């Protein structure tokens, strides 16, 4: 649920499947406009108010279902930044798919294991993609008591002793760090 005190020009909502852990809100400050989203059938890229969104289907290898469900990862391009949301990725992607994700500035990556990447796999994906900012997601918290690993396990794998969580992240292309930086975001209880 969005906090009513937050003033946002537009919100992009990406839904991989209708599940509480699969809805991703990306708040991008833009002046409101009435532009409708459009799809380019040739490229499966959507554009809305200068934000390009591409959904890329990947397999779910940990599923025991006969017809393996698909995962959708999202690439978003806006204001010179490329953001990649890996959805519920549960394995290191093959080289052919990794090549489509070159030049990722900000990576949102699941790190809680069980049905998604574990800490070691997440660190491997980060090493292959070399994003400037990494935001871990889908891990055990005081609120989310699912059978997931805590974010501390991922931070330890990344060699980070302490990471203070932030309430938000505001960044532009010129403000990106030169080396990969992990940023843990707070959540509302």
Please, are residues 82 and 91 in contact by the beta-carbon 8 Å criterion?
no
Q: Which sequence spans correspond to the domains of the chain?
A: 38-182
Sheet containing 181-182: order of strands:
38-40, 45-48, 51-59, 70-78, 81-85, 106-110, 133-137, 181-182
Model pLDDT, residue 3: 43
Q: Measured at the alpha carbon of residue 3, what is the angle toward residues 25 and 113, in degrees to the nearest 5?
A: 45
Please, are residues 97 and 122 in contact by the beta-carbon 8 Å criterion?
no
Q: Which CATH class is domain 38-182?
A: alpha beta
d(CA 102, CA 59): 19
d(CA 81, CA 17): 26
Burial of 22 (0-12, 13-18, 19+ CB in 10 A): middle
Model pLDDT, residue 60: 78
Model pLDDT, residue 66: 58
Model pLDDT, residue 35: 32
SS3 51: strand
Model pLDDT, residue 24: 47
**b/e per residue 79-117 (b: at least 16 CB within 10 A):** eebbbbbbbbbbebbeeeeeeebeebbbbbbbbbbbbbb
List, run by run, the mean pLDDT of 10-residue segments along the chain (189 residues). Answer: 43 52 46 36 63 84 65 88 93 89 94 94 97 95 88 96 87 94 89
Question: In whole angstroms, how far apart are CA 76 and each of 55, 87, 90?
Answer: 9, 13, 21
Model pLDDT, residue 57: 83
């Amino acid at each position: 649920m969005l906090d009513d005190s937050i003033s946002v020009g537009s919100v992009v909502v990406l839904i991989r499947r209708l599940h509480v852990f699969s809805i991703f809100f990306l708040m991008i400050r833009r002046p409101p406009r009435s532009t409708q989203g459009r799809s380019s059938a040739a490229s499966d890229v959507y554009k809305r108010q200068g934000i390009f969104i591409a959904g890329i289907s990947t397999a779910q290898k940990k599923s025991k279902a006969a017809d393996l469900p698909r995962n959708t990862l999202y690439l978003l391009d806006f204001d010179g930044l490329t953001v990649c949301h890996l959805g519920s990725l549960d394995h290191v992607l093959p080289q052919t798919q990794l090549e489509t994700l070159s030049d990722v500035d900000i990576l949102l990556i699941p790190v809680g294991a069980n049905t998604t990447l574990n800490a070691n796999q997440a660190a491997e994906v980060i090493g292959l993609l070399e994003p400037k900012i990494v935001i871990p997601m889908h891990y055990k918290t005081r609120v989310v008591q699912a059978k997931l690993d805590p974010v501390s396990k991922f931070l330890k794998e990344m060699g980070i002793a302490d990471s203070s969580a932030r309430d938000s992240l505001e960044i532009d292309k010129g403000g990106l760090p030169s080396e990969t930086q992990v940023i843990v975001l707070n959540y509302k209880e």
